[in-house]
Structure 1
Amino acid sequence: MTDGVYEENHLKVLRLLEADPGLSQRDLSQALGISLGKTNYCVRALLDKGLIKMQNFRSSGNKLGYAYLLTPAGIAAKADLTRSFLKIKIQEYEMLKREIEDLQQEARPKS
C-alpha cells in the first residue's frame, strides 16, 4: 500500500471515530471495506502516533468495551489530512471536468 492509501485510511478512521468513539475494529473494518487485520494495523498506527487513545468502559454487566478517542494531536492531524485530501480531490475534479468537456466535444456531430 502506498502512503496515500494509508493516509486516506487514517483520515477515514479518524472521521469515523470522531463521530462514534465506541466503534469496534470490526465496525471500522466494515465501514472502510478493508480486512480486520488491516484495520487493526491502522488503529495500532494511530495509537502509536498518539492520534487516538483507547479508553475502557463497561457497556453492560461484565462486558468490557473500548472507546477510541481522538487526542488533540489526532484532531490536528485529522484537520491536516482533510485539507490535503480536499486539495487532491479538487485537482482530480478539475482534471475529470476537462476530460468530460473533451469527450463531449469529440462526441458532437461534425457539420
Structure 2
Amino acid sequence: MAGRRDALRDDVRFRVLRLLQDNPEMSQRQLAEAVGVSVGAMHYVLSALVEKGLIKLGNFSASRDKRRYAYLLTPKGVAEKATLTRNFLKRKRKEFEALKAEIEAVQAEMELGADMAPCRKR
C-alpha cells in the first residue's frame, strides 16, 4: 500500500513541477484542477516543495494583483523533476506492458470462446 501511495505522491509532484516549469504563474486553484487534487492538497504540496527547496516564491510582476505569486523551480527542483520524470516513465512503461499483456490475454480468451461457442440453429 505504501508503494502505491508513494507512486501517487511522486506523480503529483512530477505533474506540479512539470506544470510550473512551463507556467510559473499558475494559481493554486489552477494547479489543483490540472493535477486533479483539492486546493487544500495543492497548498500542502506547494508548501512541501518550497520547504524542500524545489521551488521558490516570487511576486508575479506582470499582475496588477501584487498578492499573486510565481512558483519558480530552483536548480534543485529542476534536478528533482528530471529524476521524477525518469521514474514516471519507468512506472508508466511497466503499467503499459502489463495492460498490453492483459488485453492480449482477454482478446485470446474471446477468440477462443467464439470458436468454442455452439452453433445455434434457428
Return the TM-score normalized by structure 1. Answer: 0.92
Query: Taking structure 1 as reference, are residues 23 and 110 closer, same or farther at Cα in structure 2, changes over 3 Å only?
Result: same
Q: Which amino acid aligns with 1:106?
A: E
The equivalent of 1:41 in structure 2 is 44
Where does structure 2 lack aligned partners over 5 or more consecutive residues?
Answer: 117-122
**Identity rate of aligned residues, in percent?**
48
Dislocated runs of 4+, deviation >2 Å: 57-61
Measured after TM superposition, the shift of residue 29 of structure 1 is 1.1
Aligned 1:1-111 pairs, distance under 5 A? 2-61=5-64, 63-64=65-66, 65-108=68-111, 109-110=114-115
Residues paired across the two proteins, number = 110
Where does structure 1 lack aligned partners over 5 or more consecutive residues?
Answer: none
Q: Which amino acid aligns with 2:33?
A: Q
Larger Rg: 2
Measured after TM superposition, the shift of residue 102 of structure 1 is 0.7
RMSD over aligned Cα atoms: 1.5
**Contact 2:32/2:38 (8 A) holds in 1:** yes
Return the TM-score normalized by structure 2. Answer: 0.84
